[in-house]
Amino acid sequence: MSADLQIEAYNDELKHAVSCAGDFERKLAQGEPVWLSLLGNCGAGKTQIAMALYRRFKPQMAKKPDTGSASGWRETFQKKQKFTWPFIANKIMQRDYGIIDYVCDDIDFLVIDELGGGHDIKFTKSKLSEIAERRIGKPTIWTSNMSLEQISDELDMRIASRMIRHGSHAVVFEETEDWNLVQLQQQAG
Ligand SMILES: Nc1ncnc2c1ncn2[C@@H]1O[C@H](COP(=O)(O)OP(=O)(O)OP(=O)(O)O)[C@@H](O)[C@H]1O
Ligand SMILES: [Mg+2]
């Protein structure tokens, strides 16, 4: 059991996920903000890992450029936030575009869960591309039931590419089965 992530890494995919999660945290601590993408099978532990990392991120004071202040800098408390993509997409559909600037600019550590969950149209996909572009260089965790290929084909090729660029990792669960189903089968058998 990986005590940190509250996950039992019982196969190679899960061990790889734990290792990538550790690398993500290490890079973050070294001031190298990257992305971590947890993709694939339902019930494999993607949200569990994302939320464990989310809870471990410790907000602290950070300096941000501010032309309005005498020093040119403003001290702010780092913000972390988690959303599901269908929630953000729904806001966009309601023309609540403030959500875009908010997730791009105001949040230091962002989790976007369930990318591709729900029904994306061309418009929400284009806004997703904008968000991804603006989150480059900011710690971001994405989870999705889609594979990298599906993200590339159905959402945006550039998002898939950035998920594996410049030290970012994408873990794809292809063999790990739904944890709860496995528990049920073990109890039954
Ligand atoms: N390897 C594991 N060890 C311990 N608990 C696990 C493991 N994998 C999953 N779980 C538990 O199973 C449940 C489902 O996991 P989780 O929600 O993270 O799956 P998911 O990959 O996000 O699924 P979905 O694609 O449906 O969103 C959670 O309660 C989680 O704590
Ligand atoms: Mg999930």
pLDDT score of 3: 58
* DSSP class of 177: P
Question: For the chain, what are the domain ranges?
Answer: 12-188
The reply to whether ligand 1 has any atom less than 6 angstroms from the CB of 145 is: yes
The reply to whether ligand 1 has any atom less than 6 angstroms from the CB of 37 is: no
* Residue written as token pair 């990257």: 34
Cβ burial, residue 36 (10 Å; 0-12/13-18/19+): buried
Alpha-carbon gap, residue 135 to 137, rounded angstroms = 6
The reply to whether ligand 1 has any atom less than 6 angstroms from the CB of 142 is: no
Give the Å distance between the CA of 131 and the centre of ligand 1. 26
Cβ burial, residue 9 (10 Å; 0-12/13-18/19+): middle
pLDDT score of 2: 62
Instruction: Could you please state the CATH topology (level 3) that the domain comprising 12-188 is classified under.
Output: Rossmann fold (3.40.50)
Contacts 24+ apart (CB under 8 A), 156-160: 156/125, 156/128, 156/129, 156/132, 158/129, 158/132, 158/133, 159/128, 159/129, 159/132
Choose the residue to mutate in 2, 48, 84 for probing ligand 1, maximizing ligand atoms within 8 Å of C-beta: 48
pLDDT score of 125: 96
- Digit-by-digit pLDDT tens for the chain (189 residues) are 665 899 999 999 999 999 999 999 999 999 899 999 999 999 999 999 999 999 999 888 888 888 888 888 888 888 999 999 999 999 999 999 999 999 999 999 999 999 999 889 999 999 999 999 999 999 999 999 999 999 999 999 999 999 999 899 999 999 999 999 999 988 887
Give the Å distance between the CA of 66 and the centre of ligand 2. 37
Cβ burial, residue 180 (10 Å; 0-12/13-18/19+): exposed
* DSSP-assigned beta bridge partners for residue 82: 111
Alpha-carbon gap, residue 113 to 146, rounded angstroms = 12
Residue 52 tokens, joined: 């464990």
**Max Cα–Cα distance, the chain, nearest Å:** 69
**How many whole angstroms from its chain centre is CA 97?**
20
